[in-house]
Chain A
Amino acid sequence: MSEHDDAARRAVPEELERALAAEVSLRSRMRHVAVGLAGGCGAALITVLWVTEPHPLPARTQAAFAALIAVGLAWAAFAGWVLSRRRPLFARDRVLGARLALAVSVGTCAAGTALAATRGTTAEILATALTGGVLIAAAGLLLARAHARRRELLRLRDTLRDSAA
């Protein structure tokens, strides 16, 4: 960027601005986070329903449950792919996404444990609560890491601002 800086700089085309606005959209990212969480947690709750069923289920019902679980997991996998390749989360988005994940994990754990408590054995209740606890811990860890990463970038931003001033 040398002599050309003095000449008129090429303006950013409107089409490019629109494409980039869509590309960095926070709403699109949060939508995919929500889709992934809904798919994963839906699959988890259907699994709890299936496992705590007191009587053996007909083959068709089992197939329907399996299909619903597969659909939920597929949505979760699709959202994970989009968030890692197409719409990567920036530091603030990660914090928001992790908060959402923590809230949804707590809700799913509570709902799953309540379902198990009304339908299942003590072992099933314990297994559901334990699995839910692991999910909540994982979401909490994600949130802590997202906060740490954001703090680190904020410090770097302030350092660069000071040195530029």
Chain B
Amino acid sequence: MRQGDAVSEERHSGLLVVRCRLGERAAFRELVELWHDPLWRYVRGMVGSSHVADDLAQEAWVSVVRGLPRLHEPERFAPWLFTIARRTVTDHLRRIYGAPQTAEVETDDVTADDGFGDVLTALEIEAGLSALPPLEREVLILFHLEDLPLAGCAEVLGVPPGTVKSRLHRARRMLRDVLIEKGYEA
């Protein structure tokens, strides 16, 4: 996405959020129409089932509507939305597996370039996503499919930007291995 488009989209979302906070009921519909697709794709990528994604997306939207009056920075809507979606997915996974997902040991330093980040297409990422562990899967979805900046990913994931970089680096390497295994060329 071009930077100009991103800024314009951010402003449009910000305006919709302010209209929602004012209590304009029509704005809720517009906001949901604008963000349901990215939200659903994120949830679908994390849980792997369209039906579960439908339920979880609805659950997330209800939380979003209930929390909107407390969102004081309209321009932060996207990271805030994905934070809620992430919490909904985490609760769902916790219910299923009975225990929280544990993170692997991570470092903030990434020196080596995997040489892969700039050439990944959305289709390639989606093709290999299901084979990745949840942490790596979600950072790829947020950064590459939802186009969140590093700072936005860090806010959603609740980790420092350096950790996002290292997680992203590891996720791309794992994805490359998966794609090569599936016959894609790196």
Contacts and interface: CB of A to CB of B under 8 A. Distances in A.
Interface of A: 1-4, 9-10, 12-13, 15-17, 19-20, 23-24, 26, 85-93, 150, 153-154, 156-157, 160-161, 163-164
Contact of A4 (B18, B22, B28, B122): B122
8 contacts: A1-B38, A4-B122, A16-B57, A24-B25, A92-B23, A150-B22, A157-B18, A164-B15
Contacts of A16: 32, 36, 54, 57-58, 61
In this complex, the interface size class of chain B, counting residues with CB under 8 Å from chain A, is 35 or more
Given A23-B62, A92-B23, A17 B8 contact: no
Nearest to B25: A24
Prevailing SS type, chain A contact patch: helix
Contacts of B15: 157, 160-161, 164
B22 A23 contact: no
A12 B28 contact: no
Contacts, number: 98
Contacts of B14: 160
A146 to B, nearest CB: 11
Contact of B21 (A1, A85, A153): A153
Contacts of A1: 1, 9, 37-38, 146-147
Contacts of A90: 20-23, 68-69
B66 interface: yes
A90 B15 CA distance: 15
Considering residues A10, A89, A154, A161, which has the most beta carbons from chain B within 10 angstroms of its beta carbon? A10
Contacts of B38: 1, 4
Contacts of B23: 26, 90-93
Contact of B62 (A9, A12, A20): A20
